[in-house]
Amino acid sequence: MSTSPGWPSMPAPDVPRRTRRGWLILALLTVVVVGAGAAWWLDRGAPVVASANGTMAAVDDSLARAPNDSRVRVRVLNSSGTRGYARRATLELRDRGFDVVEYETERGKPRNGTLIVSHTGHGDWADRLRRAVGTGSIEARPDSLRYVDLTIFVGRDWKPSSETLRP
């Protein structure tokens, strides 16, 4: 049984070219995935920077949180004229330990500056809330009939954190 020299020979497939292209695509995808993972890894520990221009305080600032031993009830009113600020402020304040029991939009002329009103005489809680939002002035308006300790009127000077909004 011998092969006859008359059989037509098959051309060699273009395997090396396809293989090189496949490896090149795989290497490129690997570089993109590793680069994105490295960027995420380096950025994940960076806290939000505290500033006087209205951004949220640094996450590791212990005075920008509600006290651990107390329940601080807060009412959030969006007075900025920007839709959604009450909800965003609520989420961010709850992340910092404040018990936001009510949030809504205040009707009327938008307010330029953020105002924090203390109803129960806890000035230190109002100061913690001011540090948490990064801006605002504090007023004391005692009112024992209110269910909340603090009311915050979110003004145009407040800027929400740059994190994506949760559903």
29 and 75 assigned to the same domain: no
pLDDT digits (tens, 9 = 90+) for 9-40: 666 555 566 677 888 888 888 988 888 888 77
pLDDT digits (tens, 9 = 90+) for 121-150: 888 899 999 998 888 999 888 887 778 999
66 and 144 assigned to the same domain: yes
b/e sequence 89-109, b meaning 16+ C-beta within 10 Å: bbbbbeebbbebeebebbeee
Residue pair 131/152 in contact (Cβ under 8 Å)? The answer is no
Burial classification of residue 156, based on how many CB atoms lie within 10 Å of its CB (0-12 exposed, 13-18 middle, 19 or more buried): middle
Residue span of the structural domain in which 26 resides: 16-46
27 part of a folded domain: yes
The pLDDT value given to residue 49: 42
C-alpha span between 76 and 83 (Å, rounded): 13
Mean of pLDDT values over 105-134: 89
Q: Is the pLDDT at 162 greater than 80, yes or no?
A: no
2 part of a folded domain: no
DSSP state of 149: S
- DSSP per residue over 42-68, as a string? HHTT-PPPP-TTSPPPPTT-GGGS--T
70 and 28 assigned to the same domain: no
Q: Tell me the pLDDT band of 65, cut-offs 50, 70 and 90.
A: confident
143 part of a folded domain: yes
Its pTM stands at 0.61
Mean of pLDDT values over 51-56: 46
Residue pair 141/95 in contact (Cβ under 8 Å)? The answer is no
35 and 103 assigned to the same domain: no
